Amino acid sequence: MSCRGFEPVCTNDEARAYFRDKGLRYADITDGDIAVLAMFLSEEIKKSNKAGETSVNTMYLSKKISITHKPNGTIIMAFLYMNSHYFTQRECISFNEGGFIGFAGWADEGNTNPIRRAFLRWCDKMDEQKQRMMADQFEISETEDQHERVREKNP
């Protein structure tokens, strides 16, 4: 439990495992996906500030986001930062080149809870998106098979 009476959402390792268990990979992540994560982070940090969960109520997501891409547009690494009245651009979430995902290594539970909540929401959203794409691909494949059968019957 944090010193302010808030239970931890999960551990950093559990958040990383959640990402992995959803079958997500860096190859699945685009700039648009990082933008959605940033939106979730902003929402969760604001809520935590109001609830008194964070150590100060002045934390907010920095506008700075650093991303290195592969030629196909997916990420190699990405860094999201946060600010407060007494610091600038501390790590919020980092997608490091070797596959390690970091969560505000400088922070205690109260300050990482909103970050982890946003990350878990984002993993769910990414998984939904992935499942929809797989279903769409299956539908397209099925339709193509039906068209092929029709063409075979009617040469």
Which SS3 state, helix, strand or coil, does residue 94 take?
strand
Phi-psi group of 101: left, alpha or beta (phi > 0 → left; psi -120 to 50 → alpha; rest → beta): beta
C-alpha to C-alpha distance for 106 and 142, rounded to whole angstroms? 50
Backbone Cα Rg of the chain:
20
pTM score of the predicted model: 0.83
Average pLDDT, the chain: 88
Confidence at 4, pLDDT banded by 50, 70, 90: low
The C-alpha atoms of residue 95 and residue 154 are separated, in whole angstroms, by 53
Distance (Å, whole) CA 115 – CA 48:
10
pLDDT 10s digits, 124-152: 999 999 998 888 776 666 666 565 666 67
The model's pLDDT over 47-70, given as tens digits with 9 standing for 90+, comes to 999 988 888 888 999 999 999 999
